[in-house]
Amino acid sequence: MKALFTIALCLAATPALARENYALLIGANQYPALEERWWLRGPANDVQLVAQYLTTEAPVAFAEDHVTVLSDGVAGAEAPTLAAIRAAFAELTAEVQPGDFVYLHFSGHGTQAPALDPATELDGLDELFLPVDIGPWSDQVGAVENALVDDEIGALIDGLRAKGANVWAVFDSCHSGTATRAVEAGEEVRVRQLPPDALGIDVDAVEVSRSVGDPRQVEAPFDGGSGEGSFVAFFAAQTNEVTPEKNLPKGKPGRKPQGVFTWTLMEVLAEYPNATYGQVGQEVLRRYAVKNLAKSTPLFEGDLDQVVFGGAAGTRVSQWQAEVSEAGFTIPAGSLHGLTEGAVLAVMGSAAAADDAALGYVELTSVETFSSLGQALERDGKALPAELPKGVTLRKLDEALDFTLTVALPAAGTGPADALLAALGGLQEATGPRLVFVAADQEADLRLAVLPDSPRSDAIWVLPSTGLAEDLEATPSVSTGDKDGAELAAVLADTLVTMARAQNLLKLAGAVGASNPDVEVELLTRTPEDRTLRPLPFAPVPTLLPDDEVHVLAKNNGEGPVDVNVLYIGADWSISHWFSGRLQPGDELKKGLFKISADVLGQERMLVVVTPARPQSPVEDLSYLAQDALDRTRAVGGTAFGDALAEAGFGETTRGAMALTDETETDGPGPAILSLELRTMAAE
């Protein structure tokens, strides 16, 4: 697949005429057959959030009577039993016509069990979605009572597609068979993963069933079969990973338990309602990495070049028509759209007006999930006129990037935690103002924790914001027993700053985006067994093995020179600089970049940074961003974007945020960052 810096919005599909849009939303929370500690609280909130988005925000119209909710804990909704789910699918299948669109959402527990027909599963396991009326595993029939098996889900979806309906299925559940620990924090975090032994399934039988195959061939919970209608599936995690739920949105009083995947997906859809499925998936992955939401890697399958919901292509939504009253300015956008209390929006007389034609400004005083209220604000000597034209628009201003990182400290009372707290002064001095340390019960981007039953019980572990201790082999930790206070502060500071630098580059990549229309970039790969170069897809996330190679092709189709840099953020938070060079108009770059090493494997990301070149300037060289290189003074006066890059690498200023542009920069193509997520795994 070629990645164009135009974001490939031209790949839209035209919506069918007079089509109908349907949704079936399933949220399973409380399981009477299970111990209460396995119950969930977020699925009911997930389906209500999705239902509100579909009926009020979606780029295609979903009538309320076309949205069916099956969820315990939702007023007026039927419980999601196996019989109710089957009946809802049967009714929906009878209703749909060719060209209709169906959105399916599953929130609840998942697990794995030995397959009823092992020949149908590459790993010998069935993936299960668990309705609320499940029973235990039965050795007699080799199944979990009332579980919804992946093969049946595939058959139900095939029934819709056979009628000519186009289907998008989203699964916010997981199927890992290994229990995951969570540290105690100020809010409860649960994983949507039921260990097989909680249902009476022999864990050893599950492990023995796993077969060895080429990790490049990702097996989805089901393949959806074949049918007349199109099919796209989003999964919150790979089949051997977990997905959490936690209180969201971050920092909002009265926040609710939500599936992290559901909330993040709805956030992206609210801001990019006319993107392709592939673009939505890439943005979900970037937010997972930047916000430390989970260690899982969501999976996206199907025709990902289609525009979501089969709608029409469009640009990111960053402005909304306002209702003006005595109470202030009300807009149909809120925390789901990336707005926060205190944010300043420009008041535009029309949606097409340029930024410098702003009539004045509004500060948001109240932000809900789908709506916000603001008051007039005098800024830069400009106050709103008393009389405003009808239909004014509030526009989100150039986004300022916050490069701070909030870190929750471990609770006192253990040897490692007490050693860290005693060294906190030295740690704060070593990390500088960009790292903010808070108490264990506060919200944070990272959590420092002591895991007494881990292989390193004397260590301080660095966990994601959920506090989930998943793959400990890939989780950073710093031992305490062999260090005095100064040494502990120095080593932990180096660990945190290294992680922060990598995350800041991902923040910058998301804010800048792949928006340069003049440069075409294609990434290629080849294996030791097959030396033919083939395109490296951007979605779903490609898997590479040790000794697989990555190559880049780039062509400058513009009228001016551009500089190209390639950076690689490893699973160990390292930043490698692979290339820097200049492309004159018409130039092509063909270069083998690197091959995968077996030293560190996991979730990794490659960034291709394109910046317009200034006349008579040296080539933009971003090698100073490498983790093992010292910052050095640049030879050419910086731009706002260059300053932002320096600050992403923990520059010397103490500002908490950086703007991406300034008024002195000339018109023309802006900078662009193409971001590609990779999974690197050991060859079996």
- Mean pLDDT in the chain? 81
Asked if residue 125 and residue 45 are part of one domain, the reply reads yes
Whether the predicted pLDDT of 155 surpasses 50:
yes
Euclidean distance between CA atoms 384 and 328, whole angstroms: 12
Whether the predicted pLDDT of 632 surpasses 60:
no
Domain boundary among 242, 277, 310: 310
Phi, psi torsion values for 75, nearest 5 degrees: -55, 130
Q: Is the dihedral of CA 140, 144, 150, 153 positive or negative?
A: positive
Euclidean distance between CA atoms 499 and 503, whole angstroms: 6
What CATH code is carried by the domain that includes residue 496? 3.40.50
The reported pLDDT for the residue numbered 625 is 85
The pLDDT-based confidence of 219 (bands split at 50, 70, 90) is very low
The pLDDT-based confidence of 142 (bands split at 50, 70, 90) is low
Span 4-34, pLDDT tens digits: 333 232 333 344 446 999 999 999 999 999 8
Whether the predicted pLDDT of 156 surpasses 80:
yes
* Consecutive H or E run containing 125: strand 125-129
Asked if residue 471 and residue 599 are part of one domain, the reply reads no
Residue 435's DSSP bridge partners are 405
The reported pLDDT for the residue numbered 117 is 58
The pLDDT-based confidence of 295 (bands split at 50, 70, 90) is low
Asked if residue 69 and residue 183 are part of one domain, the reply reads yes
Question: What is the number of other CB atoms lying within 10 angstroms of the CB of residue 276?
Answer: 24
The pLDDT-based confidence of 140 (bands split at 50, 70, 90) is low
The reported pLDDT for the residue numbered 208 is 44
| Residue 667 in domain | yes
CB-side neighbour CA atoms (13 Å) of 311: 20
Q: What percentage of the chain has pLDDT greater than the value 90? A: 37
Asked if residue 489 and residue 387 are part of one domain, the reply reads no
Whether the predicted pLDDT of 660 surpasses 50:
no
Question: Which of 135-149, 173-187, 452-466, 504-518 has the lowest average pLDDT?
Answer: 173-187
Asked if residue 335 and residue 306 are part of one domain, the reply reads no
Question: Which of 133-137, 199-203, 242-246, 549-553 has the lowest average pLDDT?
Answer: 199-203
| Residue 3 in domain | no
The reported pLDDT for the residue numbered 543 is 80
Asked if residue 261 and residue 123 are part of one domain, the reply reads yes
- Average pLDDT of 527-555? 83
What secondary structure letter does DSSP report for 73? T
The reported pLDDT for the residue numbered 678 is 73
Parallel, antiparallel, or unpaired for β 657-659 and 400-402?
antiparallel
Euclidean distance between CA atoms 619 and 151, whole angstroms: 55
The reported pLDDT for the residue numbered 7 is 29
Span 260-271, pLDDT tens digits: 999 999 999 999
Question: Which of 221-235, 302-316, 500-514, 551-565 has the lowest average pLDDT?
Answer: 221-235
| Residue 120 in domain | yes
Whether the predicted pLDDT of 170 surpasses 70:
yes
Asked if residue 529 and residue 436 are part of one domain, the reply reads no
Instruction: Extract the runs of DSSP E, i.e. beta strands, from 471-629.
Output: 477-479, 519-526, 534-535, 543-544, 549-556, 562-569, 575-583, 588-595, 603-612
The pLDDT-based confidence of 3 (bands split at 50, 70, 90) is very low
Cβ 244 vs Cβ 260: under 8 Å: yes
The reported pLDDT for the residue numbered 402 is 79
Whether the predicted pLDDT of 273 surpasses 50:
yes
| Residue 81 in domain | yes
- Average pLDDT of 127-131? 87
Question: Which of 35-44, 80-89, 230-239, 462-471 has the lowest average pLDDT?
Answer: 462-471
Residue 506 identity:
L
- Average pLDDT of 187-195? 71
Asked if residue 387 and residue 418 are part of one domain, the reply reads no
The reported pLDDT for the residue numbered 66 is 98
Higher-pLDDT residue of 486, 597: 486
Please state the three-class secondary structure of 126-138 as a single string. EEEECCCCCCCEE
Alpha helices in 255-345 (DSSP H): 260-271, 277-291
Asked if residue 102 and residue 30 are part of one domain, the reply reads yes
Of 503, 516, 522, the C-alpha closest to 611 is 516
Of 287, 319, 168, the C-alpha closest to 231 is 168
| Residue 400 in domain | no
Whether the predicted pLDDT of 633 surpasses 50:
no
Parallel, antiparallel, or unpaired for β 446-449 and 435-438?
unpaired
The reported pLDDT for the residue numbered 507 is 80
Domain count along the chain: 4
The pLDDT-based confidence of 210 (bands split at 50, 70, 90) is very low
Residue 245's DSSP bridge partners are 190, 259
What secondary structure letter does DSSP report for 398? S
What CATH code is carried by the domain that includes residue 586? 2.70.50
Parallel, antiparallel, or unpaired for β 244-248 and 256-259?
antiparallel
Phi, psi torsion values for 529, nearest 5 degrees: -80, -30
Euclidean distance between CA atoms 602 and 568, whole angstroms: 13
Please state the three-class secondary structure of 598-661 as a single string. CCCCCEEEEEEEEEECCCCCCCCCCHHHCCCCCCCCCCCCCCHHHHHHHHHCCCCCCCCEEECC
Of 430, 441, 495, 435, the C-alpha closest to 467 is 441
Question: Which of 247-256, 326-335, 606-615 has the lowest average pLDDT?
Answer: 247-256
Span 487-523, pLDDT tens digits: 999 999 988 988 888 888 888 887 777 666 688 888 8
Parallel, antiparallel, or unpaired for β 256-259 and 190-191?
unpaired
Show contacts of 85-91: CB within 8 Å, 24+ apart: 85/26, 85/131, 85/148, 86/156, 88/24, 89/24, 89/156, 89/159, 89/160
Parallel, antiparallel, or unpaired for β 67-71 and 21-27?
parallel
Helix%, strand%, coil% for the chain, nearest 5: 25, 30, 50
Helices 424-431 and 485-512, packing angle to 10 deg? 40
The pLDDT-based confidence of 44 (bands split at 50, 70, 90) is very high
Say which residue the tokens 């509004």 belong to: 362
Angle 389-395-398 from CA coordinates, rounded to 5°? 145
Euclidean distance between CA atoms 284 and 299, whole angstroms: 10
The reported pLDDT for the residue numbered 115 is 64
What CATH code is carried by the domain that includes residue 222? 3.40.50.1460
Give the end-to-end CA distance of the chain in Å, rounded to a whole number.
27
What secondary structure letter does DSSP report for 201? -
Whether the predicted pLDDT of 337 surpasses 60:
yes
The reported pLDDT for the residue numbered 653 is 43
| Residue 208 in domain | yes
- Average pLDDT of 113-136? 71
The reported pLDDT for the residue numbered 138 is 66
Residue 485 identity:
G
CA distances from 133 to 32, 82, 90, 407, 509 (A): 7, 7, 19, 40, 45
The reported pLDDT for the residue numbered 114 is 64
Domain boundary among 503, 530, 562: 503
- The DSSP line for 165-176 is -EEEEEEE----
List of residues 6+ apart from 648 with CB closer than 8 A: 401, 403, 501, 504, 505, 507, 508, 625
The reported pLDDT for the residue numbered 27 is 97
CA distances from 157 to 26, 102, 107, 163 (A): 14, 10, 17, 10
- Average pLDDT of 88-105? 97
- Average pLDDT of 181-185? 54
Domain boundary among 272, 288, 310: 310
| Residue 285 in domain | yes
- Average pLDDT of 111-123? 59
Asked if residue 367 and residue 342 are part of one domain, the reply reads yes
Cβ 336 vs Cβ 56: under 8 Å: no
Counting every residue written for the chain, the total comes to: 684
Question: Which of 211-220, 516-525, 621-630 has the lowest average pLDDT?
Answer: 211-220
Cβ 178 vs Cβ 204: under 8 Å: no
Question: Which of 64-78, 355-369, 602-616 has the lowest average pLDDT?
Answer: 602-616
Most confident of 35-39, 312-316, 412-416: 412-416
Which domain range does residue 339 map to? 323-391
Asked if residue 562 and residue 466 are part of one domain, the reply reads no
Cβ 329 vs Cβ 377: under 8 Å: no
Integer-rounded Cα Rg, in Å, for the chain is 25
| Residue 540 in domain | yes
Asked if residue 609 and residue 543 are part of one domain, the reply reads yes
Parallel, antiparallel, or unpaired for β 603-612 and 562-569?
antiparallel
Angle 246-26-222 from CA coordinates, rounded to 5°? 95
Whether the predicted pLDDT of 419 surpasses 90:
yes
- The DSSP line for 405-417 is EEEEPPPSSSHHH
- Is residue 156 classed as helix, strand or coil in its secondary structure? helix
